[in-house]
Amino acid sequence: MFLYHLKVILPDANVTCIIHDDCILPCSFRPTSTVVIHWYKQQIPVHSFYYNKDQYGLQNKHFSGRTSLFNVYIPHGNASLLLRRVKVQDRGRYKCYTSTRKGNQEMFVNLELKGQYSVTALHSIIFGHIATFLCFYSCLHTQQYVTNVDVVT
């Protein structure tokens, strides 16, 4: 009898989420009775599942309390990750690694982020004039500098 493991690498998936919202990173596999699931961001452990339960021992503290799998759907081949309260630092490439008796699989997900769109008016006095700054991309949510500025004097 010959035993071999097949390693499958799928093309990257692209997901765009809104900062501070919850986000699902998709991952699927060919189900068997036993599965091991590991999610990584680069080499950082994000979430693990084996022995039929979530394993948080090696999880990076940045993701603590913000990740879960859809455990009732794991027997059907769903290893998607729910990432709660997405942060700017969450942006990047994630790896979903699954291992079953049918083989190992790696799937990569690129997570891009968007801020919540809103119009914010900031008033300031500059050299004795009132200046109004309009930020069309919510500055608080993106943690970036104001780039769209109109000055009204």
Ordered alpha helix ranges (H), the chain? 139-142
pTM: 0.71
Residue closest to 13 by CA, chosen among 66, 74, 79, 63: 79
Contact call for residues 26 and 15 (beta carbons, < 8 A): yes
The predicted pLDDT at position 9 comes to: 61
- Cα dihedral across residues 42, 113, 85, 149: positive or negative: positive
Q: What percent of the chain has pLDDT over 70?
A: 69
Per the DSSP assignment, residues forming a β-bridge with 132 are: 123
Contact call for residues 100 and 32 (beta carbons, < 8 A): yes
The answer, yes or no, to whether residue 122 has pLDDT greater than 60, is: no
Per-domain residue ranges of the chain:
7-114, 116-153
The CATH code that applies to domain 7-114 is 2.60.40.10
Residue 115 pLDDT class (50, 70, 90 cuts): confident
């799937």: which residue's tokens? 107
pLDDT in tens, 35-89: 999 999 999 999 999 999 999 999 999 999 999 999 999 999 999 999 999 999 9
Of 8 and 71, the one with more pLDDT: 71
Tokens of residue 99, six digits: 């291992």
